[in-house]
Chains A and B, each alone.
Chain A
């Protein structure tokens, strides 16, 4: 039953593809000033996707790094020695549909994603921007030598997310992100493979080019003996011409949804957090 639900949710995106074409037609016919622009500057808040998309025929390259724990101090130069990297390429098929591929050195994960805007926030008309996000992940770090019964299907993971954002005022934007993700293989024996989470995110503009960003993922069915924690990240966005530079501290080292929601090992309370940044460049 649960499985069926996952299939359905993941399939919904393909039906909405057709609707998106219609939506974008409507958009071009009625370009008015009542759309609310730029709830977020980056494609990501910190770890969570924001409701911003790359524009039509534009190509965005996002390089993300998460260093190791700052807890080990100068020995690892506050985590510099243990950094993981993610390279993410996003292309705008239209203003409302983006596709992306990425590779993360965290467990050598390849990911393909699609992000599609369903509704835009409009002044006095509709209070939210709603965006869907689906991804398929392949974990290529699992070894048959270690897991003798490993098959290719165990490497796969899926994520489905609805992102609802609201630009509350000129300076403040908030986002809610109900998330469903499934890993065909989980390392913790008591963890359900299908996992639910609720993401919260926000941005507060401190100046013309600066903003304070934060996001938090509330995992709803984590196993009681799980060694993993909910991810909390706080950072600063700096916008320079053509780049968005996001610097932050997070207790998640992984950068894909299944990674930071399902496998965050750091913890704010004992200082086991990671410095990281996302650098995005539009071509």
Chain B
């Protein structure tokens, strides 16, 4: 009986077998406008970074990323972009992976090219 139940559970899991990669699950519309902190970057940081980069920072994070000034400073002086773009899963942020989807990384890079505007 137990084995039957287990079989059912596992067969259930097997039938959800699927094939997806990053581009299947992201919104692929290219960013047209100028990227700003308030419109684009804040939500990425809030969803992925402030769990540890809070104030005070937790789990060994060195600085908070709660405000525009803090995030701007991290891009300018703390190599935020090289931390999120790294292919080395032992170095990349968010720590422990997975790496952020490429479209979100591109948004942050475009924010820097557009001049790190707040609004």
Contact = CB atoms under 8 A, between A and B. Distances in A.
Contacts, number: 123
A31 interface: no
Contacts of A272: 88
A227 interface: yes
B26 A106 contact: no
Given A136-B10, A143-B48, A146-B48, A182 B90 contact: no
Interface stretch (A125-133, A188-196, A199-207): A188-196
A282 interface: no
B96 A107 contact: yes
A14 B13 CA distance: 14
Interface residues of A, number: 54
B25 A154 contact: yes
B18 A79 contact: no
A14 B14 CA distance: 13
Contacts of B97: 106-107, 141, 263
A109 B55 CA distance: 27
Contacts of B90: 68-69, 79, 82, 84, 253, 265-266, 274
Nearest to A66: B90
B32 interface: no
Contact of B26 (A147, A192, A194, A253): A147
Contact of A148 (B25, B60, B96, B99): B25
B1 interface: no
A147 B103 CA distance: 10
Given A146-B100, A148-B27, A184 B22 contact: no
B16 A146 contact: no
Contact of B16 (A84, A143, A153): A153
A23 interface: no
Interface in B7-57: 7, 10-11, 13-14, 16-27, 43-44, 47-48
Interface of A: 3, 6-7, 10-11, 14, 17, 68-69, 72, 79, 81-82, 84, 105-108, 136, 139, 141-143, 145-150, 152-154, 156, 158, 182, 184-194, 227, 253-254, 263, 265-266, 272, 274
Pairs A-B, 3 closest by C-beta atoms: A153-B16, A145-B47, A147-B25
11 contacts: A11-B11, A84-B90, A141-B98, A146-B47, A148-B26, A148-B27, A150-B25, A184-B18, A188-B21, A254-B89, A265-B89
